[in-house]
Amino acid sequence: MSEKKLMLGNEAIARGAYEAGVKVSAAYPGTPSTEISENIVKYDEIYAEWSPNEKVAMEVAIGASMAGSRALVSMKHVGVNVASDPLYTVSYIGVTGGLVLVAADDPGMYSSQNEQDSRAVARAAHIPVIEPSDSSEAKEFVKFAFDLSEKYDTPVMLRTTTRLSHSQGIVELEERFEPIDIPYEKNIAKNVMMPGNAIKRHPVVEAREKQMAEDGADFPVNRIEMNDTKIGVITSGIPYQYVKEAIPNASVLKLGVVNPLPRKMIEDFAKKVDKLYIIEELDPIIEEQVKSWGIDCIGKEILTIQGEYSANMLRKAILGENNALTAPAQVPMRPPILCPGCPHRATFYALKKLGLHAAGDIGCYTLGAVVPLGVVDTTVCMGSSISTLHGMEKAGGREFIKDWVAVIGDSTFMHTGVNSLINMFYNQGTGTVLILDNSTTGMTGHQDHAATGKTLKGETVLAVDLYKLCHDGIGIENTRVVSAFDSEALTAAIKEEVAREKVSVIIVQAPCALLKSNKPKPAFRIDPDKCVRCGMCMKPGCPAITKKPDGAVAIDATLCNGCGLCEGLCKKGAIVR
Amino acid sequence: MQTKNIMIVGVGGQGTLLTSRILGGLTLRAGFDVKLSEVHGMAQRGGSVVTFVRYGDKVNEPIVEEGQADVLIAFEKLEALRYAHFLKKDGVLIVNDQRIDPMPVVIGAAQYPEGIIEDLEKKYKVLKIDAQKAALEIGNPRTFNIIVLGMAAKHMDFSHEDWLDVIAKTVPEKTIEVNTKAFELGYGM
């Protein structure tokens, strides 16, 4: 008997890539997709890399496919936006070696800035979408996706959601299939997308999609489970599990390919059931198409486009069951916070004391928006801090940004921030940019990037030097490097650069407190004889420092990592090791 | 067997993922179908964290819903209170008597509720433990979660031997001995 393992959905996707004979994998980390690459890297047979952003990753995978090998590219839903330029066009080109894009959506926004539905992007790009419903299917569907990709000469999107990516289930391991690399053949009509060629490819795309819709009933991943015909459900992905839990007797059409839809199969199924429901999280992608064919069905009328579904939600909406539940207790929220010893806290505290606003970006430092720091005013998407600050200046003039900076992490800067900085320099902006260089991609759990000097495979390489990139490369004269924990120097640098009527960059360095290479220093404690309970040390909001009911301040030795920010704030010398 | 629903709740960084993975290993070894659901990403940064483990003959939904949990393991008191309504009527709550102030409490915008455990005892079957203290006694404060798990082990369907074996296979090799000790300590309580 083959080995069975408990695997995260993402781990199973990685295993599927291995078994499918994938040779090249490229990605940029982003919750909930990150663990795909972190598991793929364990297979020596696969070349795997962190690319600086999703567009680059997509293009690397396209190149690998053009060279005749199977390639996987993975990203979170908003990463698909970044990659959509090559995606829409590779749909016309098609594939040589199979090409699969894993798009990880985040219903419920556990770690995202929006709740967009990647299926809509795939529909617009006219590429098929495969959606598994547990870890076991995740592995199998990756293999199916590669077969589909090569059979129909199309890139394929495998769509997952946070609940699938971060749930573990039982997976049966199988052998790796070793595909033979397809020999390269120059084919300008297919691979060079200029108007004259693209015009001839567009009909191919349309025909391909129609063919897949027709063949849909024969795809093994589309299946009908006939039961009681009073209730029929069309569903896919994780919601299928909720349907099985809530309405086990219902007849179910479980779609594995959610784009293009197998119209005939759906019409036949609809005829056999009394009442038809479409159960899909986020947007009514399936529902709107089914309704457009004149089929009577119920979906978002009783459900929502927001967040995750659950079995209880379906019991209530479809069966009208209202289980008498105990009301939740009213308790204080526990929002995520910057870790003890986080260098961003030191930076934000300095900004706060100077009374500055920050145009923010995507990363742990987005938490600089919340109390008690409350410095970050705006956050849109990866790389947007610098360009939005520039736009503010162009609208409101130098006066508007006289008390503003942009803050962006090192990984996010390498992702797309660098473009925005080039733009600010080129178009004569005068903004001050703080690159919060903690030597890693923090929020997603410590991934390397071009400026850390390590690859996904763990090789040591020459790191992109952020100072040289900004100073010598772009030509920003006023570029300097300061330690995040040198409060005096940092404050002086920010003051000086914000006042300067020229673009400037401050690289604020200090490694992430959670990096394994960053050994914590001995914890601090409060000397009760010296402490006057003024509360200065509590201002930056370090979770290791709390006030006891009697008003005494205490440092939790198990949380404190000895960064020293509070020690520097105490005027009484009451914080000691 | 009817599906059994376990929840592990705590504060990001307290080791809910490690403990749920130990549980996952056990259920797989015992031949059950199993699903685990975890929280990664932003919430792990000191936020409220919940992990679901479901095992039985056939498991569909990967999450435990309100009113369904057989066992709720809480590494922190406020989190016990936050998720207590997920317990079944006859469910068991194992709560670590530790207080970690959330940011709204730290900055004085909210109050940390008093008498949490006493209140919960009025409604649920509660087993209380001061695991931090116990962990210090065996010389490794980080093993507190395994002590709590040891206490919870008696309310699940796995042999003592299986527990020890899976713990040994899941924790870092250097810490097998101290974690075994921690488990036994909780199991004996």
- What is the H or E stretch that residue A315 is in? helix A311-319
d(C-alpha B149, C-alpha B129), whole Å: 11
Q: Is the CB of B40 less than 8 angstroms away from the CB of A541?
A: no
The verdict on B36 touching A (C-beta cutoff 8 Å) is yes
Question: In chain A, how many H helices and how many E strands?
Answer: 20, 23
Q: Is the CB of B39 less than 8 angstroms away from the CB of A168?
A: no
pLDDT computed for residue A64 by the predictor: 98
The verdict on B79 touching A (C-beta cutoff 8 Å) is yes
Instruction: For residue B13, list chain A residues with Cβ-Cβ distance below 8 A.
Output: 339
d(C-alpha A234, C-alpha A239), whole Å: 10
Task: Please report the DSSP string for A59-109 in residue order.
Answer: HHHHHHHHTTS-EEEEEEHHHHHHHHHHHHHHHHH--SS-EEEEEEE-TT-
d(C-alpha B120, C-alpha B93), whole Å: 9
Strand order in the sheet with A250-254: A223-225, A250-254, A228-235, A275-279
Q: Give the relative orientation of helices A384-400 and A418-426 as an angle to the nearest 10 degrees.
A: 30
The verdict on B139 touching A (C-beta cutoff 8 Å) is no
What amino acid occupies position A174?
A: E
Q: Is the CB of B67 less than 8 angstroms away from the CB of A329?
A: no
Of B35, B44, B102, the CB nearest to A168: B35
pLDDT computed for residue A186 by the predictor: 97
Selected for mutation to probe chain A from B106, B116, B123 (highest A CB count within 10 Å) is B106
Name the residue in chain A with its Cα closest to that of B103: A334
Q: Is the CB of A111 less than 8 angstroms away from the CB of B107?
A: no
d(C-alpha A84, C-alpha A69), whole Å: 22
Write b or e for each residue in B82-111: b if 16 or more Cβ atoms lie within 10 A of its Cβ, otherwise e.
bbbbbbeeebbbbbbbbebbbbbbbeeeee
Of A110, A167, A445, the CB nearest to B62: A167
Block mean pLDDT (10 aa), chain A, length 577: 90 98 98 97 98 98 98 98 98 98 96 96 98 98 98 98 97 93 96 98 98 98 98 98 97 98 98 98 98 98 98 96 85 92 97 98 95 95 98 98 98 98 98 98 94 97 98 98 98 98 98 90 95 94 88 89 95 96
Give A269-299 pLDDT, tens digit per residue. 999 999 999 999 999 999 999 999 999 999 9
pLDDT computed for residue B44 by the predictor: 66
Coil, helix or strand at residue B20: helix
The verdict on B47 touching A (C-beta cutoff 8 Å) is yes
Q: What residues in chain B have per-residue pLDDT under 70?
A: 41-44
pLDDT computed for residue A1 by the predictor: 58
Write b or e for each residue in A484-522: b if 16 or more Cβ atoms lie within 10 A of its Cβ, otherwise e.
bbbbeebbebbeebbeeeebbbbbbbbbbbbeeebeeee
Instruction: For residue A327, list chain B residues with Cβ-Cβ distance below 8 A.
Output: 85
d(C-alpha B98, C-alpha B100), whole Å: 7
pLDDT computed for residue A488 by the predictor: 97
Q: Is the CB of B85 less than 8 angstroms away from the CB of A325?
A: yes
What amino acid occupies position A430?
A: T
The verdict on B136 touching A (C-beta cutoff 8 Å) is no
Instruction: For residue A31, list chain B residues with Cβ-Cβ distance below 8 A.
Output: 40-42
ipTM of this predicted complex?
A: 0.94
pLDDT computed for residue A435 by the predictor: 98
Q: Is the CB of A328 less than 8 angstroms away from the CB of B39?
A: no
pLDDT computed for residue A100 by the predictor: 98
pLDDT computed for residue B42 by the predictor: 61
Which residue, among A100, A291, A93, A87, has the nearest Cα to A187 in the 3D structure? A93
Interface of B with A in 100-129 (CB under 8 A): 100-107, 109-113, 123
Question: What is the sign, positive or negative, of the torsion defined by CA atoms of A416, A419, A424, A427?
Answer: negative
Of B42, B60, B67, the CB nearest to A245: B60
pLDDT computed for residue A325 by the predictor: 80
Task: Please report the DSSP string for A175-236 in residue order.
Answer: PPP-PPPPPP---HHHH---HHHHHHHHHHHHHHHHHHHHHGGG-TTSEEE--EEEEEEEE-
d(C-alpha A102, C-alpha A74), whole Å: 4
pLDDT computed for residue A21 by the predictor: 98
The verdict on B172 touching A (C-beta cutoff 8 Å) is no
pLDDT computed for residue B43 by the predictor: 61
The verdict on B89 touching A (C-beta cutoff 8 Å) is no
Instruction: For residue A311, list chain B residues with Cβ-Cβ distance below 8 A.
Output: 60-61, 65
Instruction: For residue B106, list chain A residues with Cβ-Cβ distance below 8 A.
Output: 538, 541, 543, 545-547
The verdict on B43 touching A (C-beta cutoff 8 Å) is yes
Instruction: For residue A336, list chain B residues with Cβ-Cβ distance below 8 A.
Output: 12, 42-47
Selected for mutation to probe chain A from B20, B37, B55 (highest A CB count within 10 Å) is B37
Instruction: For residue A114, list chain B residues with Cβ-Cβ distance below 8 A.
Output: none
A433: closest CA of chain B, how far (Å): 24
Q: Is the CB of A331 less than 8 angstroms away from the CB of B81?
A: yes
Selected for mutation to probe chain B from A279, A323, A331, A379 (highest B CB count within 10 Å) is A331
Name the residue in chain B with its Cα closest to that of A559: B13
Instruction: For residue B38, list chain A residues with Cβ-Cβ distance below 8 A.
Output: 8, 166-168
Name the residue in chain B with its Cα closest to that of A163: B37
B5: closest CA of chain A, how far (Å): 14
Residues 6+ apart with CB under 8 A from B89: none
Instruction: For residue A541, list chain B residues with Cβ-Cβ distance below 8 A.
Output: 103, 106-107
> Is the backbone peptide bond immediately before A128 cis, with ω within 30 degrees of 0?
no
